[in-house]
Structure 1
Amino acid sequence: MKRSIILLVLVLVLQPSTLHADEGNGQGQAYVRPTPVRIGGAVTIAFGSPGLAFGQALLIVADNPGPVVHPQLGLVCLDILGPSAQIALSTLLDANGNASLTVGVPNLPQLVGFAPAYALALTVDFSIPGPVPISLSKTVRLNFANPDGYLPAGTLSITRALHTATALGADGADNRTRVLVAGGGSGTILSPVASDTTEIYSPLHRSFSPGPTMAVERALHQSLRLDDGRVLIIGGVDSNGLCSTSCETFDPATGQFTATGSMIEARAGHVATKLANGKVLVTGGVATIMGGSTNIATVLMTARNSAELFDPVTGVWTLLPAMAAPRFEHAQVLLPGGGVLIAGGINGGTTVFGQGLPTYTNSCEVFDPTTNSFFSTGSLPQGLAGHGLSVLANGDVLATGGIRNIFFVPTAVPDASRWNGATWSATATLSGGVAFHTQLASRVGGQALIHGGLSGTLLALGASAVAGRHDGTAFTAAAPIGVDPGIPGSSASARGSHTMVELFDGSYLLVGGADGNSAFANAFTWIE
C-alpha cells in the first residue's frame, strides 16, 4: 500500500529533472536535512518546503540509492520502486512549510558497520489549480556514526596537501551537498608540488570523482563559496614556485570553471574571508616561492603587507590600504560584528649562522568593512605563523598552535591564547605542539575543534593525529584522527596541511594532508 501511494504521487510531477539525480527535480524548494545518525543519541530528519504552508509531505526511505528512471522525474537517486522503499512519515507541513522526524539510536558502537539507509522528501502543493506540482528534495545517506569516530570516506585520485576544500551548498537545506577539492599535491610549504586538477566529493556515495581542470596549477591558494553559489579560487603557487594573480570561479550548476578578474598582486600563502556584504577580503601572502627549498630567507622577505577586496558582482579586485605588517601563513577570522581579525604571521626572513630563518610578527589588526580600513588591536603573546583561529561561543577568539623560533629553529608549539575584543591572554595549552592544523568553530557548543597538524621542527618535521576541543579555558583530547571505536583495528593517522570542511548534515570531511615524509590521498568523515 505504501509503495502504491508513492506511485500515485509521482505521476503528478510536472517536468523531468535538470539537476544531478541526487539533487532533486529542480522544482519548488523541497529539502531534507538530517543530523548525523549519532550512535547512543538520535537522528533528526528535518524536511519540507519553506513557504509551503500546510502542504502535504512524504519522507521516503530505502536501502538502495538507485538510481531508477521515472517517466516524469527522470533519474531519481532512490529506489522508490524497490521492495525496501517505505514512507517513514506522511504529514502536513506546519505554517512555515517544515516538518521533522526524530528517532533514537542505540548505544552500540558496532552499528557503525551496518549498511546505510537513504532518504528523500516529496512535497505537494494542492493550492495551485491544474496539474499538481511536486517538489523532490536531494537524496541523503543515513550512516551510523560514533561520536568522535572517524569513518573512511573514499580516496582521492592523487595525494593532496596544501589544497582547498569547499562545500558547494549554502546550508543543510540546500540541495547541493558536494565538496570541491582543488589543487595542492605533495612537497612542502616552501617547495610545493602543485596541481591544476580538482575532485568532487559526494556525501551520498562517500567517494570522489574527477572535477574540471583549473586554468593554472595551484597550491597554497584560497577558495570559498560566494553568496550566489559559485566557488572563488584565488591565487596560489605553481610547481615552479611562481605565484599567481589568477582567479577563477567554479559554477556547480554547469560544473565548469570560468576566469574572473585577477588580483592586483600575485600571492600565495595568503588568507581569504567572505564578508557579510558578500565581498571577499584577501590579505598577505608571499610574492614568490622560487628557490624556497635552498634560500628560505629570500622567499620570506617577499611577504606582503597588502590587501585586496573582491566584488563578485563586477569581478574586480580593489587594492586596500596596507596592513600594519607583512604577513605570510597568518590567520584571520570573521567576527560576529562583521569585522575581520587578522593575527600574526611570518613578516620576513633573516640569516643566522648561515641558516635562513623566518621572522614573525605578533601584531594584530581588525579590518572594518564599513570604512575598508584596518585598525590595530592587542598583540599576540608571541609572534606565530601556521596557527589556528576561531570564534568561541561568547564571541572571544582563540588562537592555537603555530610555529615560532626556539633556539633559532622553527618549532611547532602548543601555545593557546584568547582575545577578548581588545587584548590577548594566554590560556591552557594543547597536548602537543602543532602547526598547519585545522581549527573550526563548533556549531554544537562553540568550542574550537582542533585536528592534527605538523609537529616537531623544520629540521625534523613530523605530524600529529591529536584531535580535541578547546573552550577557551581548557583543551580536552578526543579520539585521534583515524580511530573509531566501532571499527576493529582502526589506527591513528597523523597529518597536517589537510583540510576539514563541514558537510550539510553537520558532520565534517577531513581530506588529504601530509606528514614529514609524504602526502596522503585518503579522507575521513567525523562527527561531534
Structure 2
Amino acid sequence: MKRIASFPSLLTLLACAACGPEAVEQAAPSPEVQTAALATPQWLAAAPALTALSDATGQVLVTGGPVGSASTAESELYAPKARAWSATAPLAVDRCLHTATELASGAVLVAGGSNTGMALASVESYNPASKTWSTLAAMNEPRSGHVAVRLPWGHVLVIGGNASTTVTTAELYDPVTNTWTPTGSLLKARSRFNATMLPTGKVVVTGGRDSTFDALTSTEVYNPATGTWFATGSMYTGRADHGAILMPDGRVLVAGGFQTVFPVTKYTSTAELYDPVTGTWTTTSNIEWTGRSDHTLNLLNSGLPIAVGGRFVAGLQFGAFSINGSNLYSPASGTWTYAGSLTTGRYFHESVVLPSGQLLTAGGESRTGGGMPVTTRLASAELYDPATSQWTSTASMLVPRANFTLTPLHTQEVLAVGCGPSGGPSAELYTP
C-alpha cells in the first residue's frame, strides 16, 4: 500500500484527486514544506471506504486512488500526535519573568526577563513555521517583571519592570523596522502591576507596588496617539500580582492580589470593575473562599472570566500556600461561582484558552504541608472543560517551569518559554 510522506503531501493529493497520477507526482511538496508538517504524525490502518474526508479531531481519512497502474480501495487514517509536549529550538538566552507577545505575523516576540538574577535587554523572536528563534534588536534598557501589550496597528508597548529599582519608562517595538523607541513614562513607579488594552486602543495600567512595597490603588492610561500617560480613577483596594482582563462589554475586571502592611502580607478576595467611558471603578462580589494572588484570569469563549489557582496565607508562621480552586465570574449577575478543583494547587503558573474552548493550565509552584511546608516546581498540566466544569490531567511539560510564558500560536499549538532547570529545553510546544 502506498504511503503518503507528509501532511502537505496529503493536502496536495486531495486537491488533485481528479487530476490523475501524473499531476500528483508533479505537485510533490518541497523539503521545506515537508519540514513544516505537524510533528510526530502517525498513520493508522483503516477499513476500505469510497470517500476521503477530514473531521474536527484533526484526523484525515484518505481512501482509494492509484497504486502503480492499478487502483485500490484501501484507506489510511492520518492522526497527528495530540495532547503532548515536544521540545523546540532553544532560546539564545534562557530567561524568567520575561514577556511573550504574538505579533501580527504570527511570530512570538520574547523580550527581557532575568538570567541568573540579572535583568536582560535582549529580545528574540520565535517563528512557528520553521520552529526557530531569531535575535532581534535589544530594548533600550534591561527589564524584568515588565508588561507587554500589542497595540491594534502591530506595535508592542513594553512598560516598566524591576531591575535593581522600579522602572517607570516604556518603549515601543516596531516589527517592520525591528526598532525600539522610547515613549512616555508612567506617572507612578510600579512593579507587579497589570496592563490591559481597551477597545479604543488605549492601555490601562492597574495597581502594582511602589519602591516602598506598598500596594497601589492608582491607575493610569496610555494614549498611543500622544505617547503620554494620564491618571484615571483609583481602585477601592490596593493590589499587586492581581488578575486583570477585558470583558466583552468593554469594562476591565480586576480580582485578588496582595497588600503589604509591614510586616504582614495580606491577600485580598475583592474584585472591581473599571468603566473606561467614565474612568471610574465600582466594586463587585468577592472571589469565593479566600483572598489570593499570583493566579491566572482568562476569558473563556462563553465570555465568562475564570480565576485559576493562586496562593494565600494559611498562617503567619508558615507563609503562603497554593490554591487548587477555580472560580467563574458572571458579568450579568456580578457574582462568582466555584468552577471545580485543579488536580494540583499552583501559583506562578500560566493558563491559555485552546481552540477547543478548553483551558490549559501548566507549570507553576505548589506549596503544601503542615508544620514543614514543601514547595515543588511543577511540570504538570491540566485541562478545564467549560461544558462539564471539570479539570483533568493532560501530558506534563518536559521540565518544571514557573514564572514562564505560555502563548497560543496560530498553528493551534501552545508555546512554553523559559524558566526551566539548567540543561533542560528552554522552550517546548503543546499539541492539543
Give TM-score scaled by structure 1 length.
0.64
Partner in structure 2 of residue 216 of structure 1:
141
8 Å contact from structure 1 (residues 513, 519) kept in 2: no
Distance 1:43 1:438, change over 3 A: farther
Partner in structure 2 of residue 469 of structure 1:
383
8 Å contact from structure 1 (residues 185, 519) kept in 2: no
Partner in structure 2 of residue 497 of structure 1:
403
Instruction: For 1:519 and 1:149, locate their aligned partners in 2 and report how far apart those are by CA, in whole Å.
Output: 21
Matched, 1:269 2:202: no
Distance 1:511 1:61, change over 3 A: farther
CA drift of 1:465 comes to 1.6
Distance 1:106 1:392, change over 3 A: closer
Instruction: For 1:221 and 1:478, locate their aligned partners in 2 and report how far apart those are by CA, in whole Å.
Output: 30
CA drift of 1:107 comes to 8.4
Aligned residues: 367
Distance 1:234 1:43, change over 3 A: farther
Determine which structure has greater relative contact order: mean sequence separation of CA pairs < 8 Å that are 6+ residues apart, divided by chain length. Answer: 1
Superposition map of 1:44-193 within 5 A: 62-65=29-32, 145-169=80-104, 176-186=105-115, 193=118
8 Å contact from structure 1 (residues 159, 519) kept in 2: no
8 Å contact from structure 1 (residues 156, 522) kept in 2: yes
Superposition map of 1:13-32 within 5 A: none
Superposition map of 1:511-522 within 5 A: 511-514=417-420, 522=426
Which residues of structure 1 form unaligned runs of 5+? 1-36, 45-59, 67-76, 79-100, 109-142, 170-175, 289-298, 352-356, 483-492
Matched, 1:397 2:305: yes
Which residues of structure 2 form unaligned runs of 5+? 1-6, 13-26, 37-51, 62-77
Instruction: For 1:164 and 1:520, locate their aligned partners in 2 and report how far apart those are by CA, in whole Å.
Output: 20
8 Å contact from structure 2 (residues 219, 235) kept in 1: yes
Superposition map of 1:113-512 within 5 A: 145-169=80-104, 176-186=105-115, 193-238=118-163, 240=164, 242-288=165-211, 301-351=213-263, 357-381=264-288, 382-408=290-316, 409-421=319-331, 422-445=334-357, 447-456=358-367, 460-472=374-386, 473-482=389-398, 493-512=399-418
CA drift of 1:258 comes to 0.7
> What RMSD in Å do the two structures reach over aligned CA positions?
2.9
Distance 1:144 1:243, change over 3 A: farther
Could you list the per-position Cα deviations for residues 424-466 of structure 1 after superposition, in whole angstroms to 9, with x for gaps in the alignment? Answer: 1223111111001111223322x32211112226974321122
Partner in structure 2 of residue 118 of structure 1:
none
Could you list the per-position Cα deviations for residues 77-128 of structure 1 after superposition, in whole angstroms to 9, with x for gaps in the alignment? Answer: 99xxxxxxxxxxxxxxxxxxxxxx98677689xxxxxxxxxxxxxxxxxxxx
CA drift of 1:399 comes to 0.8
Instruction: For 1:513 and 1:314, locate their aligned partners in 2 and report how far apart those are by CA, in whole Å.
Output: 36
Could you list the per-position Cα deviations for residues 156-185 of structure 1 after superposition, in whole angstroms to 9, with x for gaps in the alignment? Answer: 12221111000111xxxxxx1211101112
CA drift of 1:522 comes to 1.0
CA drift of 1:514 comes to 4.2
From 405, 423, 427, the counterpart of 1:523: 427
Q: What one-letter code is carried by the residue in structure 1 that aligns with 2:167?
A: S
Instruction: For 2:266 and 2:424, locate their aligned partners in 1 and report how far apart those are by CA, in whole Å.
Output: 30
Instruction: For 2:28 and 2:145, locate their aligned partners in 1 and report how far apart those are by CA, in whole Å.
Output: 42
Q: What one-letter code is carried by the residue in structure 2 that aligns with 1:454?
A: E
Instruction: For 1:463 and 1:61, locate their aligned partners in 2 and report how far apart those are by CA, in whole Å.
Output: 46
